[in-house]
Amino acid sequence: CSSIGGQLCDYHFIGENMTWKEAQDYCRKNHTDLATVSNQTEMQRLLESTTEQYQGGAWIGLQNNTTNTVCRWCWSQSGVEFNVTESKWSQGQPDNLGNQENCVMMNGGTWHDDSCSTKYKFICYEGENMWCIESVLP
């Protein structure tokens, strides 16, 4: 894996293809969770660190939770709210093609919804506090 990190938490790019749930389980077992990209500063930081590794896409921790009445799109990490104004959807996304696309992958700096059973590489984060990214930036 590749570590992209600051002092308090790290992102880890995992170069093995897994379904979204397999990726989430892996991240929770070996790190903290799938990556939460809660603002554009974090997105830019990820892209500038290792863009070449994301070719073909990588799962992040955003999922359409159809059973949750509180939020439509929810982050895997509990307690972090999805902020639509900080989202980075590709044009025409999310489209929920065939009513089967409930998980989100990052590709080329934008987000695409896809079937959770599709296998992609993925990004985990490690750290107690997802918001630690901001504390290490100037």
Q: Give kind and range of the element (H or E) at residue 10.
A: strand 10-18
Question: Span 90-98, mean pLDDT?
Answer: 89
134 or 81, greater pLDDT: 81
Q: How far is CA 81 from the centre of its chain?
A: 13
Using alpha carbons only, how large is the chain's radius of gyration in Å? 14
- Domains identified in the chain and CATH numbers: 2-129 (3.10.100.10)
Amino acid identity, residue 117?
A: S
DSSP 90: P
Does the reported pTM lie above 0.75? yes
Q: pLDDT tens, 38-93?
A: 677 777 766 665 545 667 889 999 998 766 556 678 888 776 667 777 778 889 99
